[in-house]
Amino acid sequence: MADIINLLPDNIANQIAAGEVIQRPASAVKELLENAVDAGATEIQLIIRDAGKELVQVIDNGKGMSETDARMSFERHATSKIQTIEDLFRIRTMGFRGEALASIAAVSQVELKTRLRGTDLGTYIEIDNSAVRKQEPCQTAEGTSIAMKNLFFNVPARRNFLKSNAAEMRHIVDEFIRVAMAFPQVQFTLNNNNTQLFYLEKGSLKQRIISILGQHYNARLVSVKETTDYMDVNGFVGKPETAKKTRGDQFFFVNNRFIKSPYLHHAIMNAFAEMIPADSYPLYVLFIDLDPEHIDINVHPTKQEIKFDDDKVMYAFVQSAVKHALAQFSITPTLDFELDPGIQQLDAINKPFTEQQQTQSASGSLYKTFTQANQAHVIDNSSNLKHWKDLYDIGKSDSFSTSRPAADTGRSSVSSPLYNEEPVPDATPRTSSFSASSSLIDERWQDTTIDQKVPVQVHQRYILSQIKSGFILIDQQAAHERILYERYQRALLDSPVPVQQNLFPQTLPLLPADAALISEMLPDLLVLGYDLEPFGNNTFVVRGTPADIQSGNEQASIEGLLEQFKNFSNDLKVNRREQLVRSMARNNAIPAGKSLTTREMQNVIDELFACAMPTSSPGGKYTYISFKLSDLAKMFG
C-alpha cells in the first residue's frame, strides 16, 4: 500500500497559517500597529484605501531594521522577542510569535521600506504571494513603512467573504482605537481614502479617552486606581448616566494588551449593580498590570483571549476596585445650596440661630436621643408616641384587607376585595386607592361589549386584550418593533417614509468612525425619513426626520440608530439595508416602561395583526402570548 501522508508545500502552509492570523483587513491593521509600537515609535500613521481591501499602510518613526532583519522578518516564526522557552513566560511586548508579517505576505502584495537609526541608507523589499520580487537599498526616513496591497488577491474565495466597506471599516477603526487607547504616549493618525478620521496627540489616558470617545465624557469619568503586591488596576469608568444599551465602550488591557474577558466584564457589571439598568453597559477603560508569569497569552491566534492562573482573585480585585472608585467619587447629583434662590429664602439660612434657640433645642428629647452615646435606638415614652397603639387601631379599621375564615376547600382565604366574590359581613367601607383603581378597571370593562374589550396596560410593559377564547398578552416593545420593521421594509421597496422638515436645521457632530459609517448610509436613510447633509469635519446638518420622531429628539434618535446599527453589524450576517431597517425598528420602538393611552394600545393591536408576521419581532422574540379560558380553568383547579 502506498504512503499517503505528505508535507504541505510552503505556499499552502503559509496560506493556512495566514487564515488563523489575517481574517480580514482589520487583522493586518492590528498586527502592523503592534509591530510599530514594539519598535519604539512615538508617531504612527495608518493609511487605508477601500476599507483595507486595496491598501493598508503603517508608517512609524521607530528604530527600523537592518537589511538582514528586514528580509528575515517575513520568514515564519522569525522573531526578536523569544530566545529561550523561559522568555515565553515573561512576555511584555505586543508581538512575539513571528507569524504576522509572514501571514500578511502570504495573502497580499507587500512593500517594505525601513532604515535603522543612525544609518544612511534604508532597505526596500517587495514581496508577492510570499515570494521576494525585489530587494535593494533606498532613501527613506528612519523607521519603517509597510504597505499591504490587494488583500486576498490570490485567495478570491476568502475575499468574497469580506463584508461591506462600512462593516470592514468599522472593524479597522475598532482595532485602531484599541491600540491607540493602550498607548496614549504615542501619536496616532488614521486616514481613510485621503480623509483624516483620527488625529490623536500624545497625552494622558483621560485625554486619549476623550479624544476617541467624545468631549461629552470629560466630566463623566471616574478614576480607578488600586495597587497591591500581586497586581495593579488603573484607568477610568464612566458614571452611571453614561451607560448605553449597546456594547462598544468597554476596554480591558492586561499589560497594555487589549483582551476580551466576559468573566471580568461580569465583575464590572456586578460593581454597577442597581446603578444602571440590567440591559445597559457601562463605559470602562481599565488597565491590569501583573507579572507575566501569572498569565498565558498564547492561547488564541489573535491574542485577545488570555488565561489567568487565578481567575477568582482577578474577579474579586477588579470588582472591588471599581466599587471603591464609585464610592470614593461623587456619582450622584448634589444639592447646590448656593444657586437655589428658594433655599436661600428659608429661615434656617436667613435668620441667625440665637443662644436661646440653641438652649431650647438642646433640652429637647430628640436632640438628646441623637447626641447621647448608644441612645439612637431609644424611644422616648414621654412624647406623643405613647398613643401609637391608637394610630394602629385606626389604621386597622380602615384597612382594605378584611380577613375571614377560609372555606373548607383546602385553599387559604384571599383577603383582597378583588378576589372576594361575595360581600363580607360587617366590613368597613373601602376607600383606599387599591380598591378605587380596581373598581375603575371593572367599570371600564363592563362598559364594553364582550368582543370589544378595552385593552389594559400591565406594568407599562404589556398590553392585555380580551378575545373570544380568552385573552392575549402583548409585549408592547416587541410588537411595535415588528410594526416598524415591516413599515420600513415597505419604505425601501416602494413607499418612502414621509420626511418632516425641521424649521431650524440642527448640526450633528459625530465621532470620525460614526461619520464615515453614516456617510455610506445617506441614500437609504433618506428613503427611511432622515434628511441629512454632510457639513464637513465629521458634522452633518439634520434637515428632516421621520414624521413620527418627536420634535427635539432628532439628535438622540440618530445617535441611538447608530448604536443599534453598530451592534447589529457585529452580530448579524445580513446585508447593510437589513441591518439598517432592524436598527431603526429597535431604536424607534415604544420602550418598556412607557405609559400608553387606550387609543395607542388599540393602534398597536390593530397594526400588529395587520403585519405579515405578527407572531415575532425581527429578532425572533415573541410579540404576544395567548391564554385560553379552558387553560385558565385548569390553572384554578
Backbone angles phi, psi at 57, to 5 degrees: -130, 135
Q: Are the C-beta atoms of 139 and 121 separated by less than 8 Å?
A: yes
Q: Is the pLDDT of residue 111 over 60?
A: yes
Segment 228-254 shows an average pLDDT of 87
Segment 481-499 shows an average pLDDT of 87
Q: Is the pLDDT of residue 139 over 80?
A: yes
Q: Is the pLDDT of residue 188 over 90?
A: yes
What is the average pLDDT score of the chain?
Answer: 77
How far apart CA 632 and CA 637 sit, in angstroms, is: 9
pLDDT score recorded for residue 376: 47
Residue with grid cell 508617531, as numbered in its chain:
43
pLDDT score recorded for residue 448: 46
pLDDT score recorded for residue 418: 35
How far apart CA 420 and CA 3 sit, in angstroms, is: 86
The confidence band for 76, taking pLDDT boundaries of 50, 70 and 90, is: low
Segment 8-24 shows an average pLDDT of 70
**Which tens digit of pLDDT belongs to each residue from 457-489?**
999 999 999 888 888 999 999 999 999 999 888
pLDDT score recorded for residue 107: 87
Instruction: List CB contacts of 630: < 8 A, sequence separation 6 or more.
Output: 470
The confidence band for 89, taking pLDDT boundaries of 50, 70 and 90, is: low
Query: Helix or strand or coil: residue 227?
Result: strand
How far apart CA 495 and CA 547 sit, in angstroms, is: 14
Of 70, 87, 38, 228, which Cα lies nearest the Cα of 146?
70
- Share above pLDDT 70 across residues of the chain, in percent, rounded to a whole number: 72
Q: 472: buried, middle or exposed (CB in 10 Å: 19+, 13-18, 0-12)?
A: buried
Instruction: List CB contacts of 544: < 8 A, sequence separation 6 or more.
Output: 499, 500, 501, 502, 529, 530, 531
The confidence band for 238, taking pLDDT boundaries of 50, 70 and 90, is: very high
505 vs 332, which has greater pLDDT?
A: 505
Q: Are the C-beta atoms of 282 and 243 separated by less than 8 Å?
A: yes
Q: Is the pLDDT of residue 426 over 50?
A: no
Nearest-10 crossing angle of helices 205-213, 165-182: 170
Segment 253-273 shows an average pLDDT of 89
How far apart CA 468 and CA 464 sit, in angstroms, is: 13
pLDDT score recorded for residue 623: 94
The set of cell numbers assigned to 219 is 466630566
Q: Is the pLDDT of residue 164 over 70?
A: yes
**Ordered structural domains, the chain, with CATH:** 10-195 (3.30.565.10), 205-328 (3.30.230.10), 475-624 (3.30.1370.100)
How far apart CA 53 and CA 548 sit, in angstroms, is: 39
Amino acid at 157: A
93 vs 148, which has greater pLDDT?
A: 148
Task: From residue 206, give the alpha-carbon distance in Å to each of 64, 179, 257, 325.
Answer: 30, 15, 18, 15
Instruction: State pTM to two decimals.
Output: 0.64
**Could you tell me how many residues make up the chain?**
637
Residue with grid cell 499589560, as numbered in its chain:
255
355 vs 128, which has greater pLDDT?
A: 128
pLDDT score recorded for residue 228: 86
pLDDT score recorded for residue 235: 95
Of the listed ranges 142-156, 474-488, 492-506, the least confidently predicted one is 492-506
The confidence band for 582, taking pLDDT boundaries of 50, 70 and 90, is: confident
Task: From residue 117, give the alpha-carbon distance in Å to each of 95, 121, 141, 259.
Answer: 21, 10, 9, 32
The confidence band for 505, taking pLDDT boundaries of 50, 70 and 90, is: confident
CA angle 282, 567, 242 (to 5 degrees): 25
Segment 392-413 shows an average pLDDT of 43
404 vs 620, which has greater pLDDT?
A: 620
Of the listed ranges 397-411, 413-427, 577-591, the least confidently predicted one is 413-427
Backbone angles phi, psi at 126, to 5 degrees: -120, 125
If you average pLDDT over each of 17-21, 243-247, 474-478, which comes out highest?
Answer: 474-478
Q: 330: buried, middle or exposed (CB in 10 Å: 19+, 13-18, 0-12)?
A: exposed
